[in-house]
Amino acid sequence: MATLAYYRVSSSDQSIASQRQALGGPFDHEFSDEGVSGAIMAKDRPGFGKLLGFIRKGDNLHIYAIDRLGRDALDVQATVRRLIEDGVTIHVHGLGTIGRGVGELIVAVLAQVADMERQRIRERCANGRATAKAYLEATGKTHNNKLSMGRPKRKDGKEVAAWRKLNSATLEQTCQQFSISRATASRYWAEFREQV
């Protein structure tokens, strides 16, 4: 009988350290997926896949939050059901031990709530993009007073194209002059060469 822990964070700039600290330990074995999107099914994640191949009947699995166990409510429920049927005891930080019956019901509700929250976040992001686009089309700036929806442009494309034409410069010379990439210089040239 082993005591295991599983951690997951979505982006490479996040760390599993806070989850590890919250769970305490010590653990016989730890598995993790760092920089792995929550949109990927649990069984398809490299770290979780290794855990599934390793875990045995009678083992105890500790996780920080129920949403670490799946992509959506259905995946979480299927993962929990599989682990319970394999004789694994699941401990969720702040929630306790998940078992058959009431434990599975609680998991179903919590997974559904987490799924709804992810959907609300997607909707808020989509609404924010739509608002920004509408403001940009109407006023030339987004609702946050930015000049574009994406990253701010490092240089004025028209200025770059005008300099290149005036100096009969190559693409490489233009890149060096403005400290921009070849792709950016090419894009500015294609967009503005007719206007300069």
Give catalytic residue positions: 10
Task: Look up residue 119 and give its two tokens.
Answer: 């959907």
Task: Look up residue 90 and give its two tokens.
Answer: 């699941």
What is the Cα–Cα distance from 21 to 30, expressed in whole angstroms? Answer: 13
What is the Cα–Cα distance from 127 to 124, expressed in whole angstroms? Answer: 5
Q: What's the longest Cα–Cα distance across the chain?
A: 76
Task: Look up residue 35 and give its two tokens.
Answer: 């920089």
